[in-house]
Chain A
């Protein structure tokens, strides 16, 4: 069975600083990996996904993530945080031998302060 661990339930950064949200996965088969963002009282919006093509994936709003098989990681980064990035971020995995059932991490709340 697959699982996802997000290190740090809360991350706080200054506006303009680097954003780094950590995600490690466990899967017995090649995974597909996703980052979703959730703003208050809204559903989840896809930021980016890894589908076994390029290991460095670029997403919306300036975010990117790098798939590192040796480290079983898929960390999310953004060079310069904006106030509008404040939200909860979820890393998720699905396995390629199945349909798109997602297993989510516990989420990381990102706070951006001026």
Chain B
């Protein structure tokens, strides 16, 4: 079956511009996560969705970052007024339930964001 997909695969933008990153989770998965992978910080949790709600946004680095999920499916991560330190690979993952720590997360291929 189809896995987690993300678009675009690569995004180059200029400092100060806004960007939107999209994630399509595996059909039927209620939980969705965003992580960021950067050279300096490794893999970091950003936000968790259960359905359309985000019970944990604790990993969002600043108020320039926001995310939403609609229809219990597609999620968009928006970064406003991008800065060079936002350059990273943004990974999305989904899991069937998400209410237990043992649930396996399935990762997408990521979006590589470069801010010039």
Interface bin, chain B: 20 to 34
CA–CA, A24 to B93, complex, Å?
A: 24
- The reply to whether B103 and A107 contact each other, CB–CB distance below 8 Å, is no
- The reply to whether B42 and A99 contact each other, CB–CB distance below 8 Å, is no
Residue-by-residue, is A30-63 near B (CB-CB < 8 Å gives 1, otherwise 0)?
0110101000011111100101100000000000
Interface bin, chain A: 20 to 34
Known: A101-B48, A107-B42. A43 touches B33 (CB 8 A): no
Report which of B42, B50, B102 forms a contact with A32, defined as CB distance below 8 A: B102
Report which of A95, A104, A107 forms a contact with B101, defined as CB distance below 8 A: A95
CA–CA, A105 to B37, complex, Å?
A: 12
- The reply to whether A96 and B101 contact each other, CB–CB distance below 8 Å, is yes
Residue-by-residue, is B105-116 near A (CB-CB < 8 Å gives 1, otherwise 0)?
111111000000
Interface residues of A (CB under 8 A from B): 31-32, 34, 36, 41-46, 49, 51-52, 90, 92, 94-107
